[in-house]
Amino acid sequence: NAGVTQTPKFRILKIGQSMTLQCAQDMNHNYMYWYRQDPGMGLKLIYYSVGAGITDKGEVPNGYNVSRSTTEDFPLRLELAAPSQTSVYFCASSPTSMGTGELFFGEGSRLTVL
């Protein structure tokens, strides 16, 4: 089973560039999430979605946008990349709300902004 698939795994951006991190899940989960992980700081929620067409902000949404046109896909868009967005990004999905059950994570996308 593929589970949650993220692409690309690594990317270097210049300040001011834009890019999209792709996330796809094949488990038919309604809930999907984007986290960022900075060294020694745990996981911070950027955006989440409770189903196709519905998205909402998490703790650290500034500088990012998301869309959810299908159940399977949940891309994260970075506009005008800044050095502060250098991080490892994780996409996750769950069959129920994350406060109630297991999150299934992808393997991460490491982004460096120079």
Partner 1 sequence: GENVEQHPSTLSVQEGDSAVIKCTYSDSASNYFPWYKQELGKGPQLIIDIRSNVGEKKDQRIAVTLNKTAKHFSLHITETQPEDSAVYFCAASRGGGGSQGNLIFGKGTKLSVKP
Residue 74 or 90: which CB sits closer to partner 1? 90
Minimal distance in Å, beta carbon 30 to partner 1? 11
- Comparing CA positions, the residue from 92, 87, 93, 95 lying closest to residue 112 is 87
Stretch that binds partner 1, among 14-22, 60-68, 69-77, 98-106 (CB under 8 A): 98-106
Residue 90, strand partner residues: 35
- The number of residues making up the chain comes to 114
Residue 14 or 62: which CB sits closer to partner 1? 62
Instruction: Give the whole-angstrom CA distance, residue 20 versus residue 89.
Output: 12
Q: According to CB under 8 A, which one of 19, 43, 52, 60 is a site residue for partner 1?
A: 43
Phi, then psi, of 105 in degrees rounded to 5: -100, 150
Stretch that binds partner 1, among 17-25, 65-73, 79-87, 103-111 (CB under 8 A): 103-111
Minimal distance in Å, beta carbon 28 to partner 1? 18
Instruction: Give the whole-angstrom CA distance, residue 109 versus residue 93.
Output: 16
- Comparing CA positions, the residue from 80, 81, 38, 77 lying closest to residue 55 is 77
Residues at the interface with partner 1 (CB under 8 A): 4, 31, 40-45, 48, 50, 56, 58-59, 90, 92, 97-103, 105-108
